[in-house]
Every structure is written in structure tokens, then in C-alpha cells.
């Protein structure tokens, strides 16, 4: 997916030379991605309690993360957003580079990353807890770091160098987790609780057990027994999501940068003016299929694990992300079938606002004022048990979509 014209040097000049119009497919795909965690997953769960038909059971099974190794649709939501961030930065930074130059683009990258990182801490609870109970790692923080790294590479490096960086990060991460020795101790809550005979061993107990574990192992990828988790335990400050380590820890952010760079590669493909839509789609589909093949093959040696963002996970998630982008691009920007995707566009134009809103506003509680109590009980009694919960889930999602539509109609956007 080479993004530069061979007749012009340096290559990065071509990437910034001709600003391209905004692609509705990007906004729609971003909105589709967030749609599920903003309330659509709750609708699916409620539907699963209402009926036990096979298609619904299959859909419900995809609405939860894999316990550890493996990949569900829900596991794809986060890397898909990181991927779309990479696609989008190609268009936004190209415009900034063309109009204001590299210095302005770098300033934009750092300011946006810093704001995203701060909003991530706010989403995690902000400073409501005393240090060290403040969680520094998180979803928005990882997006901020991946965006900053990919954005700087886009501004200063050509396609070939960025590709080498993306591949090298995956190879280095695999080598680190495979060959660097770690203590033979699973820093897992269930394992440690069984060892100490208490659900919550003290930090001092765990520290002494960790330091007294002399046996070293390599090539382990179990929960709490891998290099990424052990480095989180030793060096990641603040609170950790899984007590002893964090799924958005520092080391596993390295392959997440590759996820964002895959998005940059796809964005450069879409920006090319010397290729037809048919050629772009063909390249996206072939590349997506190749990533899936390589990722699943690599997964036989380096398992596909979202919680430590393994290199095989990056390739598989990247492959599915590219194919979804190709599908949305074909339907929305090539065929211009746009009526069905408007709710996704509303969400996609205000993703951070709506994501933060779910942390700050209890939409489920508000929905109960409209469809709870006797209303939900009536649906349970006259339709089927569980129909009331389905109604509440639909009203909750409807409130979020109403907010998204209102913000869009008033052209209120949180541009981060």
C-alpha cells in the first residue's frame, strides 16, 4: 500500500501536498465501533435473556472479551479505534502540513495527545482517589501514545521507514516476551489468592513472594505470567486495572503503535489520487486478507491475546479492521449508500464526547424514569419475561443516540 508517487521526492511531501475531502466512511466506521460499547451490547444481552435462538446466542457470545487467548468481536473494538485513529491522522495532519507546515503539525500532535491522556485519567476517575490509587494507564491514554508516535512518524518519515518501524515493533515485542527471563510467578489475583489462602493478600506479601521466587522461565504468555505483566508490576506507577498489572500497560503499548501505523498505511492508500476506487479496494482487501493469514499463523506460536496486545493480535485485528474499512468505504463513499449509516456518523463525529458522557452520566438511570417500574413490569407480564430489560436497554441506547444527533445538528463537536 505505497502512498507516495515515485516521481516526487521526498515522499512525505506527496502525503501532505493535496488535502483530501473528509470521508464519511471513516466517521461511520468510528461510530459503528463505539456504538457497541455505548449501549448496543446491553441491548444484545437483554435480547439474549429474552430468547435463546442460535443467532442471538452467537451474537451474545461476541459481546464479551475473550477470557485470555482468542478473539471475539468485542476484542476488536479497541484496536479498531486505534486503527481508525491512524487512518484519520493521515487526512488531518496532511491538511495541517499543507497549510501551516511541520512545526504546527507537531504542536498539534503533542497538544492532542496530552489532552487525550488527561481525559483518559479523568475517565478512570480522575483525582477522586489519593495517590497511588490514581490509574495512569487506560484506553484513551493508549490511544494518545499510539497517536503521538504514529503522527510524528507520519510527519518526519516516509512510507518505507514507517513500515519498517511497524514491523520492527512487532518483532521486538515478540522477542522480548519470548526470550527475556521472568520469575516463575503468575501475578494473577486468583492464583495469588489460592497461594495465600485469602482473597486479598497484602502488597507486602506479594512483594516478598515475588522477590523470593528464584526460578526463571521464558516464553510464557499466561495471565500474570509474562514479561509485560511483570514489568507493569515492577515499574507501572499508580493503580492497575488488574491489581498487579494493567491491560493498557507501557510495554504492550509498543505493538499498539503498530496498530496505529497500519491505520496510517490504509489512510495513505485511500488518499492516493493516482488510483481508482476499485484499485484502492482491491489493495485493502488483499492486504487485510494477508494480515489475517499471517496473524492466525503467528498465533500458533505467539497466541492472539488482547490483554497484552500480542503481535499476532495486532495482525489479526489489523486485518479485520482493514476489511471493515474497505466495506464501509465501498458502501458509503463509492456506492454512496448513506441513509443507513447516519446514526453511526453522529457518533463518529463526537466519539470522545460520547465516550466520556457514559462515564459521567448514568444513562441507564435516566432511562428508568421513562421505561422502568410499572412500564418494564407490563412488558415482562404481557410480552415475555425479560422484555422490560430489553426496553430499558433500548431506551438507554436511544438516549445516547438522541444526544449524538443533537450535538451533530447543533454542530457541537469536541475536537481532540
* C-alpha angle 273-275-280 in degrees, rounded to nearest 5: 110
Q: 52 pLDDT band (50/70/90 cuts)?
A: confident
- Do 347 and 34 contact (CB within 8 A), yes or no? yes
Beta strands in 47-132 (DSSP E): none
Which residue has better confidence, 387 or 12?
Answer: 387
Q: What is the pLDDT of residue 21?
A: 60
So what's the pLDDT on residue 414?
Answer: 80
- Spatial separation of the C-alpha atoms in residues 169 and 164, rounded to whole Å: 9
User: 218 and 180 in contact (C-beta within 8 Å)?
Assistant: yes
What's the whole-number mean pLDDT along residues 30-49?
95
Beta bridge partners of 122: none
Of 274, 256, 327, give the one whose Cα is nearest residue 79: 256
Q: What are phi and psi of 353, to 5 degrees?
A: -55, -50
Distance between CA 358 and CA 117 in Å, rounded?
Answer: 17
Please state, for a pLDDT cut of 70, what percent of the chain lies above it. 94
Average pLDDT, the chain: 93
Residues 288-312 have pLDDT tens digits of 999 999 999 999 999 999 999 999 9
User: CA 218 to CA 387: how far, in whole Å?
Assistant: 51
Confidence of residue 16 (pLDDT cuts 50, 70, 90): very low
- The C-alpha cell at 349 is 463525529
For residue 305, list its beta bridge partners.
69
C-alpha cell at 321: 479492521
The sign one gets for the Cα dihedral 339, 288, 256, 101 is negative
Q: Is the pLDDT of residue 260 over 80?
A: yes
- Unique residue bearing C-alpha cell 505505497: 2
Mean pLDDT of 185-196: 94
Distance, in Å, from the CA atom of 414 to the CA atom of 71, rounded to the nearest integer, reads 32
Record the pTM.
Answer: 0.92
Rounded distance, CA 253 to CA 117, Å?
13
For the chain, the structural domain boundaries read 11-180+249-409
If you count DSSP H runs as helices and E runs as strands, how many of each does the chain have, helices first? 19, 2
Amino acid at each position: 500500500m505505497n502512498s507516495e508517487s515515485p516521481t516526487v521526492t521526498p515522499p512525505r511531501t506527496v502525503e501532505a501536498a493535496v488535502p483530501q475531502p473528509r470521508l464519511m466512511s471513516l466517521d461511520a466506521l468510528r461510530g459503528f465501533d463505539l456504538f457497541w460499547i455505548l449501549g448496543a451490547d446491553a441491548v444484545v444481552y437483554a435480547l439474549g435473556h429474552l430468547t435463546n435462538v442460535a443467532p442471538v446466542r452467537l451474537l451474545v457470545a461476541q459481546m464479551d472479551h475473550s477470557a485470555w487467548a482468542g478473539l471475539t468481536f468485542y476484542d476488536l473494538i479497541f484496536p479498531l479505534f486505534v486503527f481508525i485513529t491512524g487512518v484519520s491522522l493521515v487526512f488531518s495532519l496532511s491538511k495541517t502540513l499543507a497549510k501551516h507546515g511541520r512545526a504546527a503539525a507537531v504542536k498539534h500532535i503533542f497538544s492532542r495527545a496530552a489532552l487525550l491522556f488527561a481525559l483518559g485519567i479523568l475517565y478512570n476517575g480522575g483525582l477522586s482517589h489519593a495517590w497511588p490509587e490514581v490509574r495512569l494507564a487506560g484506553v484513551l491514554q493508549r490511544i494518545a501514545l499510539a497517536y503521538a508516535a504514529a503522527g510524528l512518524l507520519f510527519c518526519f518519515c516516509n512510507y518505507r521507514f514507517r513500515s519498517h518501524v511497524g514491523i520492527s515493533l512487532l518483532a521486538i515485542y515478540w522477542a522480548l516476551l519470548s526470550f527475556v527471563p521472568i520469575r516463575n510467578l503468575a501475578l494473577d489475583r486468583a492464583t495469588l489468592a489460592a497461594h495465600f489462602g485469602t482473597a486479598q493478600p497484602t502488597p507486602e506479601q506479594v512483594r516478598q513472594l515475588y522477590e523470593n521466587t528464584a526460578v526463571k522461565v521464558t516464553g510464557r504468555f499466561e495471565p500474570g505470567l509474562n514479561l509485560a505483566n511483570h514489568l507493569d508490576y515492577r515499574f507501572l506507577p499508580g493503580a492497575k486495572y488488574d491489581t498487579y498489572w494493567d491491560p493498557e500497560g507501557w510495554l504492550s503499548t509498543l505493538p499498539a503503535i503498530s496498530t496505529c501505523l497500519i491505520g496510517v498505511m490504509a489512510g495513505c492508500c485511500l488518499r492516493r489520487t493516482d488510483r481508482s476506487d476499485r484499485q484502492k479496494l482491491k489493495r485493502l482487501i488483499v492486504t487485510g486478507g494477508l494480515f489475517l493469514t499471517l496473524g492466525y499463523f503467528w498465533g500458533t506460536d505467539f497466541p492472539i491475546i488482547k490483554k497484552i496486545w500480542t503481535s499476532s493480535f495486532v495482525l489479526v485485528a489489523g486485518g479485520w479492521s482493514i476489511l471493515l474499512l474497505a466495506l464501509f468505504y465501498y458502501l458509503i463513499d463509492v456506492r454512496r449508500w448513506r441513509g443507513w449509516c447516519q446514526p453511526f456518523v453522529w457518533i463518529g463525529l463526537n466519539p470522545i464526547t460520547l465516550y466520556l458522557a457514559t462515564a459521567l452520566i448514568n444513562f441507564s438511570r435516566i432511562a428508568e424514569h421513562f421505561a422502568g417500574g410499572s412500564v418494564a413490569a407490563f412488558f415482562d407480564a404481557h410480552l415475555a419475561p425479560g422484555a422490560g430489560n430489553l426496553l430499558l436497554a433500548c431506551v438507554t441506547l436511544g438516549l445516547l443516540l438522541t444526544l449524538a444527533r443533537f450535538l451533530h445538528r447543533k454542530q457541537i463537536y469536541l475536537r481532540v
